[in-house]
Amino acid sequence: MPLVIIESPNKISKLKKILGRGYKIMATKGHIMDLPPKKLGVDVKNQFAPEYVVSRGSGSTIKSIVAEAKKHDDIYLATDPDREGEAIAAHIASRLPKRGKTLHRVRFHAITKRAVDEAMADPGTLNTDLYDAQQARRVTDRLVGYQVSPVMWRKGIKGASAGRVQSVALRYVATREREIQEFDPKEYWDIDAVTDQGFKTRMWGVDGKSKTIRQEKHALGIRQLTMSSGQLRVTKVSKKNRTRKPDPPFTTSTLQQAANNILSWDVDKTMSVAQKIFEKGVITYHRTDSVAVDKEYVEANRENILSEHGKDHLASKVNSWKGGKASQEAHEAIRPTGEDGDLTSDEGRLFDLIRRRFIASQMADARFEQVAVELESVGTKLPVNYKVNGSRLLFEGFLKVYGSATADVILPELEEGQIIGVTEVETAQKFTTPPPRYSGASLVKRMESDGVGRPATYASIIKTLEKRTYITKQGKTFQATDLGILVNDYLGMFFPELVDPAFTAQMESRLDEVAQGNISYADALQGFYTPFSEVLDKAKKGDAKALFRTEHMCPECGEYILKRPAKEGGYWYSCGGYPKCKATFRSEDSELLFEDGKPIVREVVSDEPDEDAPKCPKCGAPTVKRKGRYGEFYGCTTWKKTKCKGIINIDKNTGKPKEQEIYPLVSCPKCGDHMEKLDGRYGLYLRCVKHPECKTNMGIPLGVCPDCGGWIVERYSKKKKKHFYACNSYPDCEFACDDSEDFDPLPDEML
């Protein structure tokens, strides 16, 4: 009995019906191996050799598959037919027993009996070029993320991250947001002449020259001039018949765009629903750049059109389209397979969109008649020029199945020289509008046109930007946040290549070359990493203070105050003269408050204890609500007499006392008790819960000590006036370094 290994467990029941009882089917549940989460995992000096570890939660899956594989002689690797699927197949193959086993690579482009039977009857081998292309993409993304992000942290953007493709996508949204913020609307006036023939015509010029009316007095002058005549002469009538061709069947990106425009779905939902209906066998593989369709299905579609809609609606010859130069991997566009499936409401809506687009692709062109009429005022000192366009659908063609035509604008039969009466001239004040924000559809279209990323990755790119709060969804469009604009500005200043679409597209082309076997994995990475490492070195030495500078001056030394994003949200303010001046300021609403030109750093909200306020955690006395540089808190009412410094922070979201936050990874090195996470003058830090009896405190762990396995924290040398990294076990362990590359960083979720 052969063993078939697939990715998604959702396909198992469908494949069992197709293959029958003679096969054992198991699923990897996605990737089983990846680069290690706590360190770079790439040997840059040794041909960029990747270090793979078992993905979290995949250990038991691998163990089960390996145990089952020992019982079978023939093993079919049937993961998805793309780069990611090839990588999964290669990784599981590396764990399987070799002696007496025959490995086959099969690729299902549809979960139908015919597609599966044909693939099983003609298996191939693993495609090492395709696997290398996936590895090159993963390693490049790791090199960028793990080497750029720490530099951003040290420059004052704590918790920020950069990505090879996400940084370009962020640039699109952030640059558009800047354009909107800086847009200066210009006034203009629309002038429409209402004719006695029942249509309106719009003014476009004076004396045959195009003219935009910017002021009301000029608009009223044009109105008076036209009304004084009360007549328009037809100067030109143009009629043209135009055709509109059907679009090809969907690719991944065009499906994402159509679902966003028609169904109002975001890219992530579209891909999720498409995955489900692919697994149910009703469509071909949904991650594809190809617009081609198997000839047999083209002919079947044309026969169906002839039967259902008649010869007039069938394209006279087979419609075909040329795929883009980046078209790869999959052999067909997304089309219905002809199989029935039990679909949910959302699945049915997406399937219907795919079905109608596929059918329409072989239908006849839609035909329109377009009429353009030009007119001018009669008997005026200077002729005022007007124009109007009409259109009429002559033949619906493919629009009967997919798409829609704009409403007909029917004009009466007009002839050159004909005089038409004017009953009224309407004027309307308007203002120019800024460019629109990107929607999911327009952002995907922009990335595809620039060759940035690949359609299968667009959903994860947009999701990452939202998760990082670099962009937010406003209705159907994306708006860059202040943090997103700041990150974009920083990357543009120090890593211009990372936000350059041409540079990123060049890397995508290089990955395609790897997939096609034209260049090697190592050469592709070296071509990227050599210039990247040079820029990285410059960025480490660069000064980013200009990005954070405010218009306010420090009251203690006169330097500019800097506004920096806080990792936990909001902003904190510090003197630009650090480390000479260590003044910091923070306010509850993330905007620095000033009084008489000086920052407000603390104020008492009430002098009377609140009956509902909690008791002081140090001495049990009543507390009073106060406001400090870090927001509101409850402070001990006896602090002036007893010097008790007991406080309870207030949660900014709920307004209720914040519970003590125990940091789970670290114990106090002196007394062994828990450490609590606090927000102090210089940011987040850890303090022993027994404070003030035990005065131990330390920075937030940033990495793992390579000498003793302890925690690496950031420290500051007053003597050398610089920051450095050291083991928290000092003096027992004396490890110290100036560069974060010298120790293994913690994953983002632990920071």
Residue with tokens 């927001």: 631
Q: CB atoms < 10 A from the CB of 435, how many?
A: 10
Q: How far apart are CA 614 and CA 432, in angstroms?
A: 56
**Of the residues 285, 438, 470, 630, which is catalytic?**
285
Separation between Cα atoms, residue 449 and residue 458, nearest integer Å: 13
User: By 3-state DSSP, what share of the chain in percent is helix, strand and coil, each rounded to 5?
Assistant: 35, 25, 40
> Locate tokens 């090697």: which residue?
520
Instruction: Outline where DSSP puts E strands in 530-646.
Output: 549-553, 560-565, 571-575, 584-585, 594-595, 598-599, 602-604, 623-628, 631-636
What tokens were used for 728? 């928290």
C-alpha to C-alpha distance for 386 and 235, rounded to whole angstroms = 10
CA distance 278 to 252: 13
Dihedral (CA of 291, 296, 299, 304) sign: negative
Own/partner long-range contacts of 221-228 (Cβ < 8 Å, ≥24 apart): 222/191, 222/384, 222/425, 222/427, 223/191, 223/425, 223/427, 225/377, 225/380, 225/381, 225/382, 225/384, 226/191, 226/193, 226/377, 226/380, 226/384, 226/422, 226/425, 227/422, 227/424, 227/425, 228/380
Amino acid, res. 569: G
- Measured in whole angstroms, the distance separating CA 374 from the mean position of its chain's CA atoms is 46
Look up 285 and say whether it is catalytic.
yes
3-state secondary structure 422-462: EEEEEEEEEECCCCCCCEHHHHHHHHHHHCCCCHHHHHHHH
The rounded distance, in Å, linking the Cα atoms of 643 and 741 is 44
**Residues marked as catalytic:** 285
